[in-house]
Amino acid sequence: MKSYEVTKIGQHRGKPRLWLEGSKAQLGGFMPGKRFEAKKDLDKQMLILELSDSGCRIVSRKLKGERELPVIDINSGELLSLFDGIEAVRVVVQDGKIFILPLATEIAVKERLGRLKGKLDSGAPIFVGSLSHGGGVLSHAIHAGLKESGVKAKLAFANEIRAELLEQASEMNDAWDGETLPLAAPMQELAFDTWAMNQLPKVEVLEAGLPCSGASVAGRAKRGLEHPEAHPDVGHLVVPFLAIIAKVQPAVILLENVKQYLTSASMCILRNQLRDFGYNLYEEVLQAAEWNALEHRERMCMVAVTRGLAFDFAGLVRPDRVEQRIAEILDPVSDDASCWSRMEGLKAKQERDKAEGKGFAMQIVTPFDAKCPTITKGYAKVRSTDPKLQHPSNPNLLRQFTPVEHARIKGIPEQVVGSLSATIAHELLGQSICYEPFRAVGRLLGKSIKACGEAITHQTALSAYRASVAG
């Protein structure tokens, strides 16, 4: 390759025009007076200019001072019809040839739509990739929703830094099957490992729950961060996330995080770069209370769909309001079980915090309450500010929620935590989502994918008819 350049397709007297002069032509040997042929490659959507003594076109000349520059003027509507609706093209110069192609983004958009349509038409399952998988709660919810909408899906790969969580998910998570590829590595390592990335298949859906440690209020306060991107471990993960997107070329991208992520610099970068990749973005803050969860957690959800696909959060269906009580999700723990405690140390800490004006207080719930405060990933540490369950008959006694109770509070299927230790189970659940809102997103995505597949089929048939009439 002699040169690579992105240039705009102009207009001349109402017709498209491509003007190449100077080094663009010179580097390929296209000098003034030389003959060349121009031919279309319809399969590759490419225009090829090739030097030929018998060519019917001649390189023109332009004087610039004392210099004579070659000029190639392509103003044929028939030749440039390859690029209808495209504002800019790539010009790749080689010895004796110039290749004019749509931008890589335009080709990627077309490929993504075609690949999705092909799978829908054949009845093959669409491929899903998962990043920052954790225990796969988001994957489980999305797959459940897709299935309910009638879309077959297969978890192609799952990336998570902790191997034990992937192993647990492979055994207990319904989204997995025997062919799911586990990728136990930091995302920033995976994204720039050329060999590993070459093993990844293209997917139709890519979902991710990027770590929220830098964006959450607690995470920023703990480290004294001015902005989420300052977090030393996760503040930069938008970079590998985009690199993996570019590699696996999903038709649909779903990202969840704390709602504060919406105002981060990372989110601004995502919005702009995904737009340039050929996606339209939709954003929503999902409130778990609207899906009858006991934990009223709020999470942002971003859905990016390839241009040509339709999506609208307005189609998200919320269930009828059903009030649930804490008592309904409790394990059968006896009133005299050893897990009940006075927790005198935590109560004393609460009093010290009050005296120091810190404003920290214990969050105590009863079996009769219809709401539970947020349970975070550090719940197993038994901290004073984490929710505690009050004894049904002795208000002085308290206990921690079990991992299974924790899962039920968030509406997460219990088998996801399986045989995990309490520490790891609480960590997995505490940094996860409330299940039902994202299951609903999965259903909506499935309906949109099916509808868009039908629309693509219709548009393809219409384009073919118009081409036959024009011919």
Q: Are residues 313 and 342 in the same domain?
A: no
Q: Are residues 92 and 147 in the same domain?
A: no
**pLDDT > 90 in the chain, percent:** 79
Q: Are residues 288 and 188 in the same domain?
A: yes
Give every CB contact of residue 194 below 8 A, 6+ residues apart in sequence: none
Q: What are the φ and ψ backbone dihedral angles of 452, each rounded to 5 degrees?
A: -70, -35
Which tokens sit at 378? Answer: 């550090």
Whether 402 has a pLDDT exceeding 80, the answer reads yes
**CATH number for the domain including 191?**
3.40.50.150
Amino acid at 30: F
Looking at the domain assignment, is residue 469 inside a domain?
A: no
Q: Which of 385, 379, 326 is nearest to 350 (CA)?
A: 385
Dist. CA 157–CA 206, nearest whole Å = 10
**β-bridge mates for residue 21, sequence order:** 71
> Can you give the pLDDT at residue 212?
59
Q: Are residues 30 and 44 in the same domain?
A: yes
pLDDT tens for 404-455 read 999 999 999 999 888 789 999 999 999 899 999 999 999 999 999 998 766 6
Measure CA 387 to chain center.
32
Number of domains in the chain: 3
Looking at the domain assignment, is residue 468 inside a domain?
A: no
pLDDT tens for 30-76 read 999 999 999 999 988 999 999 999 999 999 999 888 889 999 999 98
HSE-up (13 A, CA, CB side) for residue 315: 13
> Can you give the pLDDT at residue 231?
60
Looking at the domain assignment, is residue 250 inside a domain?
A: yes
pLDDT tens for 97-134 read 999 999 999 999 999 999 999 999 999 999 999 999 99
* Cβ–Cβ < 8 Å for 140, 171: no
- Collapsing DSSP to helix, strand or coil, 268 comes out as helix
Whether 226 has a pLDDT exceeding 80, the answer reads no
Dist. CA 443–CA 452, nearest whole Å = 14
Q: Are residues 225 and 251 in the same domain?
A: yes
What is the domain range of residue 16? Answer: 3-102
Looking at the domain assignment, is residue 72 inside a domain?
A: yes
HSE-up (13 A, CA, CB side) for residue 337: 12
Q: What is the mean pLDDT of residues 246-255?
A: 98
The residue whose two tokens read 């004294």 is 224
> Can you give the pLDDT at residue 222?
53
Q: Are residues 201 and 317 in the same domain?
A: yes
Q: Where are the alpha helices (DSSP H) in 123-237?
A: 137-148, 163-172, 187-190, 194-198, 217-223
- Collapsing DSSP to helix, strand or coil, 390 comes out as strand
Q: Are residues 406 and 448 in the same domain?
A: no
Which tokens sit at 431? Answer: 């940094």
Note the pTM of the prediction, 2 decimals.
Answer: 0.88
Looking at the domain assignment, is residue 465 inside a domain?
A: no
Cα radius of gyration rounded to whole Å, the chain = 29
Looking at the domain assignment, is residue 92 inside a domain?
A: yes
* Cβ–Cβ < 8 Å for 101, 92: yes
**CATH number for the domain including 356?**
3.90.120.10
